[in-house]
Amino acid sequence: METFEYDIHKSFSDYVKYEKNITKFGWLIFLCLIFEDLFVRSYLVKQPFVIEIVVLQGILLFLSLSASIIKAQEFKKNSENRSKAADLIKLAEVVITVCFISTLHHSVFFYFVALLPITFISLTKGFEKTIPFIIFSWMLQIVSQYGVFRWLADSGISSIMDNGMLFVAMITLQYVIFTVFCYVWGGVYNEYLRSEEENNILIDRLGDKYVQLEQAKKEIQNQYDKIIESNNQLEEANKKLTSSLAEFYTLQQISQAITSIFDMNELLKFVNDVIIGVMGVYHSTIALCHGPQNKLKVQVSSIFDKKDLAIVSDYINCDTLKPSTEEGRSMIDNNVNPEDYPFTKGRNIQSMICVPLLAKGKTLGIVIIEHSIKDAFDDENMRLLEVISQQVSIAIENARLYQQMHDLATLDGLTGAYNRLYFNDRFQEEFKNAQSKGHDLSLLIFDIDHFKKFNDTYGHLFGDLVLKTLSAYIKKTLRKEDIFARYGGEEFVILMPYTSLEQAREKAEDLRIGISQLNITDRVVSASVTISVGVSTYPETAGRMQELISTADDALYEAKNAGRNRVRVAKKKGYKNDEV
């Protein structure tokens, strides 16, 4: 209902808008009609000038302007009272316009002008409310026109229409036609009202739907907020679960490495890769303590640039890291100053965590992770790295114990050369490899000349020193793939894969000369020793594994029988042993 009233006022406002335009230019219509009447009376019908008619028309023009001004002022008032005032002003306008038209000589042609104010009533208020105005205007038109005609007739001035009945008929006919038009316009108004009512009903329904939708929207928003809150809680829980799973997976991987990887470097490379993957860091470096002063030495690092890696190696023992190496404390710095951490110079490191590797209260080394952005790490990152470091420390200890056990199982305790058991295993492996791939495999067997006499003269301790000095020298001169072992007492063997008979003979000769030039001393006694060497090669001098050993051993005895301090090569098929 409120909406309907609002639309009525809106219609009235539209009516006012059109009325303002009529009011604005209405005086021009009156003025034009005055000039038209003067022209007709003076030039067309040649009537004498009647000042009274002109004065009356001027007065009516003035009244019309006054009514327009009053109407404009009324339109500025509140909408509650201006509808009634507008009806009164409209009635006054009808009276003034009808009277004005009646003063014209050609009034019969301009009756429609008097009906214009009524037109807007039919368009804005309907046909029924227009009928009183039409009847009133019709009656007033007849009366006023008749009065003017009588007045002019008394003054001896003829009118356009002298027949009174015809005059009344003409006025009535025009008003009937106009009434029909008003009826049509009223129908338009009624249709408009009906449409407006339907629209208002639809608007009211839409308003109800809108209210319902707003309530539903609020309920949905509340449900959505609850879902968002639950989702945030789930995300937080998921983050914690993901972090726990990542931590568990990391520890599981490291635990598996502890039980399966016993090579120290391989183990540390694996752990370093795991740290980079789990922590999502820019660089990761593991450095272990060495020597009596526990100096750090870089073992593995993700830094590939040799220059940067050299800087890290040179400055890893800076004072800033001493709390980790000496006190076993973890460190975190999210605003790294290269002056405090000289090993970061030139690498744009902004954040860093340093965690010690501890085992049985002793610092084994440190793990350093770095990032190129500030505030990259938090306490949770440091805690996770500490947990990883604990596992790494266990892995390092296990690797060292394994290395010790491996050394005890494979190395000779006095000389550091491989023992005979290890040599036999490797000999079988290398011989099978030489057979399958068809490459040469050479064997050198040698012992120290007159070693028993040497022991009897200088004692067993000095004899042990000779064995250790000789072994150290030989290990320095051999290739990585060569296998050097103590075969028994003062007798040693060297297995040389991918080595021909001639190459093996040359190597044996170099060793013989080098050993003879060694000066062995214990600061009290100084002495030198010589060796005798036998050389054999598969497949030149031996076709089977045992034959390779026996032919080399036979060559060794030939060297001894020939006076010692010399190399003998096993004889080839159809030849005697070669002497060097």
Taking the C-alpha atoms of residue 208 and residue 161, their distance in angstroms, rounded to an integer, is 64
Taking the C-alpha atoms of residue 128 and residue 498, their distance in angstroms, rounded to an integer, is 126
- Across the chain, how many H-helices and E-strands are there? 15, 13
For every residue of 73-135, which 3-state class applies, written as one string?
HHHCCCHHHHHHHHHHHHHHHHHHHHHHHHCCCCHHHCHHHHHHHHHHHHHHHCCCCCHHHHH
Closest by CA to 325, choosing from 292, 375, 352, 364, is 364
Taking the C-alpha atoms of residue 39 and residue 501, their distance in angstroms, rounded to an integer, is 148
Q: Which distant-in-sequence residues (6+ apart) come within 8 Å of 197 by Cβ?
A: 4
Contact 459, 522 (CB under 8 A): no
Q: Which distant-in-sequence residues (6+ apart) come within 8 Å of 121 by Cβ?
A: 90, 129, 130, 133
Looking up tokens 């010690």 gives: 356
Taking the C-alpha atoms of residue 300 and residue 296, their distance in angstroms, rounded to an integer, is 12
Contact 288, 299 (CB under 8 A): yes
Q: Which distant-in-sequence residues (6+ apart) come within 8 Å of 246 by Cβ?
A: 278
Q: Which distant-in-sequence residues (6+ apart) come within 8 Å of 410 by Cβ?
A: 418, 419, 421, 422
Taking the C-alpha atoms of residue 142 and residue 250, their distance in angstroms, rounded to an integer, is 112
Closest by CA to 552, choosing from 465, 473, 439, 445, is 445
Contact 570, 555 (CB under 8 A): yes
Residue 490 catalytic? yes
Give the active site residue among 430, 490, 540, 558.
490
Active site residues: 490
